[in-house]
Amino acid sequence: MRKIIVINSKGGCGKTTLSTNLASYYAAHGWPTALFDYDPQDSAMRWLAQRPAELAPIHGVRAAHPPMPGMTRAFQLRVPPETRRTIIDTPASLKRMDLIDILRGASAIIVPVLPSIIDSAVTAAFLSELRAVMRSYAPDAPVAILANRVRRNTRTFLALMSFLDDLQMPPVTCLRDSQNYVNAASQGVGIHEMRRGVTRIDREQWQPLIDWLEAGTPDHHSRPEEEEKRYIA
Protein backbone atom coordinates (compact mmCIF):
# COMPACT_ATOMS: atom_id res chain seq x y z
CA MET A 1 0.00 0.00 0.00
CA ARG A 2 1.26 3.47 -0.84
CA LYS A 3 0.38 6.41 1.38
CA ILE A 4 0.47 9.72 -0.47
CA ILE A 5 0.17 12.92 1.53
CA VAL A 6 -0.94 16.24 0.07
CA ILE A 7 0.06 19.02 2.39
CA ASN A 8 0.89 22.73 2.75
CA SER A 9 -0.03 25.10 5.54
CA LYS A 10 -1.22 27.62 2.94
CA GLY A 11 -4.98 27.48 2.38
CA GLY A 12 -6.38 27.47 -1.13
CA CYS A 13 -3.25 26.17 -2.86
CA GLY A 14 -5.00 23.07 -4.21
CA LYS A 15 -4.59 20.34 -1.60
CA THR A 16 -8.15 19.09 -1.90
CA THR A 17 -8.15 19.46 -5.67
CA LEU A 18 -5.01 17.36 -5.90
CA SER A 19 -6.19 14.79 -3.35
CA THR A 20 -9.54 14.20 -4.98
CA ASN A 21 -8.08 14.07 -8.49
CA LEU A 22 -5.39 11.65 -7.37
CA ALA A 23 -7.93 9.42 -5.64
CA SER A 24 -10.08 9.51 -8.76
CA TYR A 25 -7.08 8.75 -10.98
CA TYR A 26 -6.12 5.65 -9.00
CA ALA A 27 -9.67 4.41 -8.57
CA ALA A 28 -10.43 4.89 -12.27
CA HIS A 29 -7.28 2.90 -13.13
CA GLY A 30 -8.41 -0.05 -11.06
CA TRP A 31 -6.46 0.51 -7.84
CA PRO A 32 -8.48 0.03 -4.65
CA THR A 33 -8.16 3.54 -3.22
CA ALA A 34 -8.83 5.26 0.09
CA LEU A 35 -9.15 9.01 0.65
CA PHE A 36 -8.53 10.46 4.12
CA ASP A 37 -9.84 13.92 4.95
CA TYR A 38 -8.02 15.52 7.90
CA ASP A 39 -9.69 18.87 7.24
CA PRO A 40 -12.66 19.63 9.54
CA GLN A 41 -14.18 21.55 6.62
CA ASP A 42 -14.80 18.13 5.00
CA SER A 43 -14.29 19.32 1.41
CA ALA A 44 -12.84 16.01 0.23
CA MET A 45 -15.64 14.06 1.91
CA ARG A 46 -18.23 16.37 0.35
CA TRP A 47 -16.62 15.68 -3.03
CA LEU A 48 -16.80 11.95 -2.34
CA ALA A 49 -20.47 12.19 -1.32
CA GLN A 50 -21.24 13.57 -4.82
CA ARG A 51 -19.43 10.77 -6.59
CA PRO A 52 -21.66 9.03 -9.13
CA ALA A 53 -22.46 5.46 -8.07
CA GLU A 54 -21.43 4.05 -11.46
CA LEU A 55 -17.81 5.24 -11.08
CA ALA A 56 -15.05 3.26 -9.35
CA PRO A 57 -15.62 3.48 -5.59
CA ILE A 58 -13.25 5.29 -3.21
CA HIS A 59 -13.16 4.45 0.48
CA GLY A 60 -13.54 7.71 2.45
CA VAL A 61 -12.26 8.28 6.00
CA ARG A 62 -13.40 11.38 7.94
CA ALA A 63 -10.17 11.59 9.87
CA ALA A 64 -10.73 15.17 11.08
CA HIS A 65 -13.49 14.13 13.44
CA PRO A 66 -13.28 12.02 16.59
CA PRO A 67 -14.50 8.45 16.31
CA MET A 68 -18.12 7.77 17.13
CA PRO A 69 -18.84 6.78 20.74
CA GLY A 70 -17.64 3.24 21.39
CA MET A 71 -15.34 3.24 18.37
CA THR A 72 -11.54 3.36 18.68
CA ARG A 73 -9.47 5.80 16.61
CA ALA A 74 -7.67 2.84 15.02
CA PHE A 75 -10.99 1.36 13.94
CA GLN A 76 -12.12 4.70 12.53
CA LEU A 77 -8.92 4.98 10.46
CA ARG A 78 -8.93 1.42 9.11
CA VAL A 79 -9.10 0.84 5.36
CA PRO A 80 -10.28 -2.23 3.45
CA PRO A 81 -7.47 -4.82 3.34
CA GLU A 82 -7.26 -4.70 -0.46
CA THR A 83 -6.46 -0.95 -0.46
CA ARG A 84 -3.43 -0.16 -2.66
CA ARG A 85 -3.34 3.63 -2.69
CA THR A 86 -4.19 5.91 0.21
CA ILE A 87 -4.44 9.65 -0.39
CA ILE A 88 -4.34 12.00 2.56
CA ASP A 89 -5.92 15.46 2.28
CA THR A 90 -4.86 17.85 5.02
CA PRO A 91 -6.06 21.19 6.41
CA ALA A 92 -4.14 24.46 6.36
CA SER A 93 -3.09 24.12 9.96
CA LEU A 94 -2.20 20.94 11.79
CA LYS A 95 -1.13 20.32 15.37
CA ARG A 96 2.33 18.84 15.54
CA MET A 97 1.00 15.54 16.91
CA ASP A 98 -1.42 15.25 13.99
CA LEU A 99 1.37 16.10 11.55
CA ILE A 100 3.49 13.33 13.05
CA ASP A 101 0.60 10.85 12.83
CA ILE A 102 -0.03 11.76 9.22
CA LEU A 103 3.62 11.60 8.18
CA ARG A 104 4.31 8.20 9.73
CA GLY A 105 4.61 5.59 6.99
CA ALA A 106 4.37 8.14 4.17
CA SER A 107 5.39 6.84 0.75
CA ALA A 108 5.40 10.28 -0.88
CA ILE A 109 4.57 13.86 0.01
CA ILE A 110 3.19 16.43 -2.43
CA VAL A 111 3.26 20.14 -1.63
CA PRO A 112 1.10 22.22 -3.98
CA VAL A 113 2.00 25.88 -4.28
CA LEU A 114 0.40 28.78 -6.15
CA PRO A 115 2.33 31.41 -8.09
CA SER A 116 2.12 34.17 -5.48
CA ILE A 117 4.69 35.88 -3.29
CA ILE A 118 2.63 35.23 -0.17
CA ASP A 119 2.22 31.55 -0.97
CA SER A 120 5.96 31.18 -1.62
CA ALA A 121 6.85 32.70 1.73
CA VAL A 122 4.37 30.52 3.61
CA THR A 123 5.52 27.45 1.68
CA ALA A 124 9.20 28.13 2.48
CA ALA A 125 8.40 28.29 6.21
CA PHE A 126 6.21 25.20 5.96
CA LEU A 127 8.88 23.20 4.12
CA SER A 128 11.41 23.77 6.88
CA GLU A 129 8.90 22.67 9.52
CA LEU A 130 8.05 19.64 7.39
CA ARG A 131 11.72 18.71 6.97
CA ALA A 132 12.25 18.97 10.72
CA VAL A 133 9.37 16.60 11.52
CA MET A 134 10.26 14.28 8.63
CA ARG A 135 13.79 13.79 9.97
CA SER A 136 12.33 11.78 12.85
CA TYR A 137 9.11 10.36 11.45
CA ALA A 138 9.40 9.98 7.66
CA PRO A 139 13.09 10.31 6.80
CA ASP A 140 12.85 8.44 3.50
CA ALA A 141 9.66 9.86 2.02
CA PRO A 142 10.31 11.84 -1.15
CA VAL A 143 8.83 15.34 -1.33
CA ALA A 144 7.62 16.95 -4.56
CA ILE A 145 6.52 20.51 -5.11
CA LEU A 146 3.65 20.97 -7.56
CA ALA A 147 2.99 24.37 -9.10
CA ASN A 148 -0.77 24.84 -9.31
CA ARG A 149 -2.99 27.29 -11.23
CA VAL A 150 -0.11 28.33 -13.39
CA ARG A 151 -0.30 30.92 -16.13
CA ARG A 152 3.01 30.54 -17.85
CA ASN A 153 3.81 33.90 -19.31
CA THR A 154 3.33 35.86 -16.13
CA ARG A 155 5.77 37.51 -13.78
CA THR A 156 4.34 35.67 -10.77
CA PHE A 157 4.99 32.33 -12.46
CA LEU A 158 8.60 33.28 -13.21
CA ALA A 159 8.97 34.44 -9.61
CA LEU A 160 7.66 31.08 -8.39
CA MET A 161 10.09 29.19 -10.62
CA SER A 162 13.02 31.22 -9.38
CA PHE A 163 11.88 30.72 -5.76
CA LEU A 164 11.76 26.94 -6.34
CA ASP A 165 15.12 27.13 -8.07
CA ASP A 166 16.61 28.74 -4.97
CA LEU A 167 15.14 25.94 -2.88
CA GLN A 168 16.61 23.45 -5.37
CA MET A 169 13.14 21.96 -5.66
CA PRO A 170 11.93 22.32 -9.24
CA PRO A 171 8.22 21.44 -9.49
CA VAL A 172 7.37 17.89 -10.45
CA THR A 173 4.75 19.38 -12.74
CA CYS A 174 2.80 22.60 -13.33
CA LEU A 175 -0.98 22.43 -13.53
CA ARG A 176 -2.79 25.13 -15.42
CA ASP A 177 -5.69 27.11 -14.07
CA SER A 178 -8.61 25.25 -15.58
CA GLN A 179 -12.36 25.21 -15.19
CA ASN A 180 -12.09 21.43 -15.52
CA TYR A 181 -10.95 21.26 -11.88
CA VAL A 182 -13.88 23.38 -10.77
CA ASN A 183 -16.32 21.18 -12.69
CA ALA A 184 -14.71 17.98 -11.41
CA ALA A 185 -14.92 19.26 -7.83
CA SER A 186 -18.64 19.84 -8.06
CA GLN A 187 -19.38 16.44 -9.62
CA GLY A 188 -17.40 14.02 -7.43
CA VAL A 189 -15.09 13.10 -10.30
CA GLY A 190 -11.51 13.81 -11.34
CA ILE A 191 -10.20 15.21 -14.60
CA HIS A 192 -9.17 11.68 -15.63
CA GLU A 193 -12.81 10.68 -15.51
CA MET A 194 -13.92 13.50 -17.78
CA ARG A 195 -13.97 13.51 -21.56
CA ARG A 196 -10.52 13.27 -23.08
CA GLY A 197 -11.19 16.06 -25.53
CA VAL A 198 -11.62 18.72 -22.86
CA THR A 199 -9.02 17.37 -20.43
CA ARG A 200 -6.15 16.46 -22.78
CA ILE A 201 -3.83 19.22 -21.58
CA ASP A 202 -4.64 18.58 -17.92
CA ARG A 203 -3.97 14.86 -18.31
CA GLU A 204 -0.62 15.60 -19.93
CA GLN A 205 0.26 17.90 -17.06
CA TRP A 206 -0.63 15.17 -14.54
CA GLN A 207 1.56 12.51 -16.14
CA PRO A 208 4.90 13.63 -14.63
CA LEU A 209 3.29 13.56 -11.18
CA ILE A 210 1.94 10.05 -11.71
CA ASP A 211 5.33 8.91 -13.08
CA TRP A 212 7.06 10.41 -10.04
CA LEU A 213 4.62 8.76 -7.62
CA GLU A 214 4.86 5.38 -9.25
CA ALA A 215 8.59 5.36 -10.03
CA GLY A 216 10.40 2.40 -8.60
CA THR A 217 7.33 0.51 -7.46
CA PRO A 218 6.82 -2.88 -9.05
CA ASP A 219 3.11 -2.32 -9.61
CA HIS A 220 3.41 1.05 -11.27
CA HIS A 221 1.83 0.16 -14.57
CA SER A 222 -1.69 1.40 -14.85
CA ARG A 223 -4.38 -0.97 -15.91
CA PRO A 224 -5.39 0.47 -19.24
CA GLU A 225 -8.22 -2.00 -19.59
CA GLU A 226 -9.86 -0.31 -16.63
CA GLU A 227 -9.24 3.18 -17.86
CA GLU A 228 -11.96 5.01 -19.68
CA LYS A 229 -14.43 2.20 -19.18
CA ARG A 230 -16.66 4.63 -17.44
CA TYR A 231 -16.41 8.33 -17.62
CA ILE A 232 -18.85 11.08 -17.37
CA ALA A 233 -20.05 13.07 -20.33
Ligand X SMILES: Nc1ncnc2c1ncn2[C@@H]1O[C@H](COP(=O)(O)OP(=O)(O)O)[C@@H](O)[C@H]1O
Can you give the binding site for ligand X, defined by CB under 6 A?
A: 11-17, 43, 148-149, 175, 177-178, 181-182, 185
Nearer to Mg ion, 18 or 32 (CB): 18
By C-beta, is 32 or 109 nearer to Mg ion? Answer: 109
CB of 186 to ligand X, least distance (A): 9
* Beta-bridge mates of residue 4: 87, 108
Least distance to Mg ion, CB of residue 17, Å: 8
Q: Residue 15 CB, nearest distance to Mg ion (Å)?
A: 5
Residue 14 binds which one of ligand X, Mg ion, none, with CB within 5 to 8 A depending on kind?
A: ligand X
Whole-number Å distance between alpha carbons of 155 and 137: 37
Instruction: Identify the burial level of 42 via C-beta atoms within 10 angstroms of its C-beta, where 0-12 means exposed, 13-18 middle and 19 or more buried.
Output: middle
Q: Which of 16, 20, 24, 148 binds Mg ion (CB under 5 A)?
A: 16
Is residue 76 within a helix (H) or strand (E), and if so which, with residue range?
Answer: helix 73-76
> Residue 120 is which amino acid?
S
The number of beta carbons lying within 10 Å of the beta carbon of residue 62 is 18
> Closest Cα to residue 99, out of 146, 135, 46?
135
Q: For ligand X, which is the closer residue by CB, 11 or 80? A: 11
| The only residue of 15, 51, 59, 149 in contact with Mg ion, by rule CB under 5 A | 15
Residues 39 to 58 in contact with Mg ion, rule: CB under 5 A = 43
Element (H, E) at 185: helix 179-187
- The binding site for Mg ion (CB under 5 A) comprises 15-16, 43
